[in-house]
Chains A and B, each alone.
Chain A
Amino acid sequence: MALPPLQDLIACPHCDTLHAAATLPDGATASCQRCHAVLQTARAGAMVNVVSLAVAAFVLMIAAISFPFMDLNAQGNHNATSVFSAITAFNTGMAVPLAVAVAMFIIILPLTRLVAIIYAIGPLARGVTPRPLARQAFGLAETLRPWAMAEIFMVGVTVALIKVAGLASVTLGPAFWAFAGLVIVTIVKDQIMNRYAIWEALDKATQARA
């Protein structure tokens, strides 16, 4: 059986079924014929949007970790904490590994992922040659995807607020709203970011240079 050249083929990552890559009209989506996983999408301007949202998320993230997150007040005793000071305040027993895990999931991994996305896709959005490690960077961003848990943290914050309501009064700080904005921006960004479209764009941009 004669196969088309390898670069014109896409194998579904979920079920391994081979497909011929199509040139899609703008707005179209191609799915696996066997398991219906989305394989290709064509969205004009998607790269620019992804990069702008990633930059916005990065700025919000910095605000969210440096400003006060919440202020707790019980009978005159105050405790205002930023996410950063909260994490560094953990220094005894069971709290240490927990603080490390929380720092990884809500700060270090999400920030690494954002930097990797901006590094890899930024030049694509501007229509210039991709950076030398763009592929490794985007691969890293993909690997980190399930481990960046900002949105889950936000639900945790809500639950914690309700639990503490009986004990003390809580005032939300600017970092809380920065974090809420970050969650929304991240969700929108991941919605419009199609991994196969980005790999394809990286291929095309590299070929154009060669």
Chain B
Amino acid sequence: MGSIGQSHASTGLITAREAGLVACRRCGQVHALGTQNCTRCHGALQSRDAQSLQKVWAWLIAGIVLFIPANIYPMLLTNTLIERSDSTIIGGVVELIHYKSYGIALIVFVASIMIPIGKFIAIAYLAISVQQQSILNMHQRHKLYDFVEFIGRWSMIDVFVVAILSALVQLNTIASINPGIAALSFALSVIFTMFSAQSFDPRLIWDADRKNR
């Protein structure tokens, strides 16, 4: 515990809030507490967003709910002269392995399965740890937040694959590819999870450090 206590008590760093100020999250400009809009970038100011965690949970739950049909229903509907087939997200990965495209199979698997699930867990963990005012691993949690914000949008890869394939493969009777319902629910799941991560106020991670002192 020693090192955590020393981390800022000894360096004498104070937050804008403790100095009676409110900082703009978009541009860093500080204002007197109670100022409504940033003088520099005109963004709305909030010392701490009281509803931050509620929004995080609401978007996160919506994202998780839509992730379920995204995995059950077909992502791609393929019609060729010989056959008609539907493939789910996992089915698409299996198909790529079948074609011996292991690298691409890995990219799709990571982007469509691992990143979304990892993101659900990471955001839930961050929200719970803030609610419990945990003072453990603040640096690591902050890095986790940055990582989640950075990586989330890459889940969109499979949606673009479906869109490109369905635009490209329209060869009358020979072959056609169309998007399935999972493409839409997956895209919405990614969008909602991005909203969830953006609703999280990372300053809450560091606030717990002060309240417990």
B and A form one assembly: yes
Q: Say whether A34 faces chain B, with CB atoms less than 8 Å apart.
A: yes
Counted as pairs of residues, one from A and one from B, with CB atoms less than 8 Å apart, the total is 211
Task: Identify which of A15-23, A41-49, A51-59, A122-130 touches chain B.
Answer: A15-23
Q: Mark B165-199, 1 if CB is under 8 A from A, else 0.
A: 11111111011001111011001000000100010
Listed A/B pairs (16) with beta-carbon separation below 8 Å: A14-B146, A17-B14, A17-B206, A34-B206, A77-B174, A87-B167, A89-B170, A102-B163, A135-B40, A135-B41, A136-B41, A156-B156, A156-B164, A159-B158, A165-B99, A199-B40
Closest to A83 in B: B167
Closest to B173 in A: A77
Report chain B residues within 8 Å CB of A193.
none
Besides A14-B202, A101-B187, A157-B160, 9 other A-B contacts (C-beta < 8 A) = A16-B23, A18-B30, A98-B159, A102-B160, A146-B198, A156-B161, A158-B104, A162-B99, A202-B40
Q: Say whether B28 faces chain A, with CB atoms less than 8 Å apart.
A: yes
Report chain A residues within 8 Å CB of B153.
146-147, 149, 152
Query: Are A11 and B28 in contact, with the CB atoms below 8 A?
Result: yes
Q: Say whether B42 faces chain A, with CB atoms less than 8 Å apart.
A: yes
Say how far A184's CB is from chain B's closest CB, in angstroms. 17
Q: Of A16, A157, A159, A164, which is within 8 A of B169 by CB? A: A164
Query: Are A159 and B161 in contact, with the CB atoms below 8 A?
Result: yes
CA distance A86 to B14 in the complex (A): 54
Query: Are B157 and A155 in contact, with the CB atoms below 8 A?
Result: yes
Query: Are B104 and A1 in contact, with the CB atoms below 8 A?
Result: no
CA distance A1 to B171 in the complex (A): 74
Residues on A lying within 8 angstroms of B by beta carbon are: 1, 3, 6-7, 9-18, 33-35, 39, 70, 72, 74-75, 77, 79, 81, 86-87, 89-90, 93-95, 97-99, 101-102, 105-106, 135-136, 138-139, 142, 146-147, 149, 152-153, 155-160, 162-168, 170, 195-196, 199, 202-203
Say how far B134's CB is from chain A's closest CB, in angstroms. 15
Closest to B43 in A: A139
Report chain A residues within 8 Å CB of B161.
156, 159-160, 163
CA distance A149 to B156 in the complex (A): 8
Known: A35-B206, A149-B156. A90 touches B28 (CB 8 A): no
CA distance A147 to B15 in the complex (A): 30
Say how far B12's CB is from chain A's closest CB, in angstroms. 10
Query: Are A95 and B31 in contact, with the CB atoms below 8 A?
Result: no
Q: Say whether B101 faces chain A, with CB atoms less than 8 Å apart.
A: yes
